[in-house]
Amino acid sequence: MSKNAKKVLKEEVTFQLEQALGKLKDFLGERKFNSRVKKAVKLLTAGIDNSDKPARKEEPAVPPQPKKASPRKTGGVPVKKRAAAKKKAAIKKPAVAAEEAK
């Protein structure tokens, strides 16, 4: 995109914003409104390059291959799972015995 084309684009965006937000000019005043429109145009046209670049073709995504365990990490021997620690069951006194003691 040439400099002239970018300038034309900025003018078009400015015109569209002024048409769409014309009623705000009455509330803000012409000076504040124009400065805000100018900032908005700058933000909206910031990512547009001045050079003409061909569109990038999208390549089909290659599905990822599942990873296999390497023999170095496991040493060629399957890893044994450790036994889970046993939890001791807490012995609870029956509630009936506690009431009878009273």
Q: What's the confidence (pLDDT) of residue 33?
A: 95
With contact defined as beta carbons under 8 Å apart, do 40 and 24 qualify? no
Pick from 48, 6, 10: nearest CA to 18? 10
Q: Where are the domains of the chain?
A: 3-44
Helix ranges (H only) for 1-102 are 3-20, 22-28, 30-44, 71-74, 95-100
For the stretch 36-62, pLDDT in tens is 999 999 999 988 776 555 566 677 677
| Beta carbons within 8 Å of 45's beta carbon, 6+ residues apart | 6, 9, 10, 13
Q: Is 102 helix (H, G, I), strand (E, B) or coil?
A: coil
Q: Mind listing the pLDDT tens digit of every residue in the chain (102 residues)? A: 666 888 899 999 999 999 999 899 999 999 999 999 999 999 999 887 765 555 666 776 777 777 776 656 555 566 666 776 666 666 666 666 555 665
| Verdict on whether the full-model pTM lies above 0.85 | no
Q: What's 79's DSSP letter?
A: P
Q: What's the confidence (pLDDT) of residue 93?
A: 64
With contact defined as beta carbons under 8 Å apart, do 14 and 37 qualify? yes
At residue 70, what is the residue type?
A: S
Residue identified by tokens 């990490």 is 73
